[in-house]
Amino acid sequence: MVLEIDALSFAYARSEKLFENFSLSMSKGEIVSIVGESGSGKSTLFDLVTKQLQPRGGSISVGTVSQIYQDPYTSFHQSYALQDQIADVASLEGIDFWCEKISFEKELLQRKPHELSGGQLQRASILRALLMKPDLLLADEPTSALDNLTQLEVMQLLISLLDNLAILLVTHDEDLARWCSDRVVRITDFKTRS
């Protein structure tokens, strides 16, 4: 298993529980989508998986994790080259392989983020995540800032990576979730059910 969540409970101070007795397991090669309205706990689940938050109860066991963020422009610092930023958090070993795999021109890494299109920058974000050699890739609304054609290209790219990892996708787009996922988990009314 790449991810094993068992009987998870969590609430912010003085608020209703976002998760109670919530369980989820994932293996390599799977995409699971977490869907729900804004504020329902989708991003909180990612913070729990990455151990930025601690559960009130239950357990989370996870392999190596990396993340693709919703807005590629805010996920990079605007003042220095992409390759230097990627090297700050990951080894550049395998960069040629991954650039080819995701159809990303390596020369673009010498540029600053504002010099790339949204689609190019999201591919750079995916490249950074892959170079971290994850077992589990967390994708937080990875296509919401992109036009329709680029959204499709990015999702097809993510699906093509499943030989190497599992993907936990957060989205409010249920059509997207049904199209690309092995399973869909809905979070509604600050409670969970799967």
String of DSSP letters for 149-177: HHHHHHHHHHHHTTTT-EEEEEES-HHHH
- Residue with the bigger pLDDT between 58 and 13: it is 58
First-last CA distance in the chain: 18
- Residue with the bigger pLDDT between 16 and 123: it is 123
pLDDT at 192 over 80: no
pLDDT of residue 193: 44
Percent of the chain with pLDDT over 70: 96
pLDDT at 8 over 70: yes
> Which CA distances in Å does 11 have to 17, 38, 43, 194?
4, 16, 13, 19
Domains of the chain: 27-55+62-193 (3.40.50.300)
Mean pLDDT, residues 60-88: 92
- Residue with the bigger pLDDT between 104 and 17: it is 104
Positive/negative CA dihedral, 100, 106, 112, 117: negative
- Residue with the bigger pLDDT between 18 and 28: it is 28
String of DSSP letters for 6-41: EEEEE--TTS--SEEEEEEEE-TT-EEEEEE-TTSS
Mean pLDDT, residues 19-35: 93
> Which of these, 165, 171, 97, 179, lies nearest to 137 by C-alpha position?
165
> Which of these, 57, 53, 44, lies nearest to 138 by C-alpha position?
44
pLDDT in tens, 169-190: 998 888 889 999 999 998 863 3
> In the structure encoding, which two tokens stand for residue 107, read together?
């020369």
pLDDT in tens, 112-159: 999 999 889 988 999 999 999 999 999 988 877 677 887 888 889 889
What are the contacts of 103-108 at 24+ separation with CB within 8 A?
103/157, 108/82
String of DSSP letters for 56-112: SEEEEEE--EEEE-S-TTTSS-TTS-HHHHHHHHS--TTHHHHHHHTT--GGGGGS-
pLDDT in tens, 77-123: 999 999 999 999 999 999 999 998 888 999 999 999 999 998 899 88
pLDDT of residue 188: 65
CA angle, residues 154, 3, 70, in degrees to nearest 5: 30
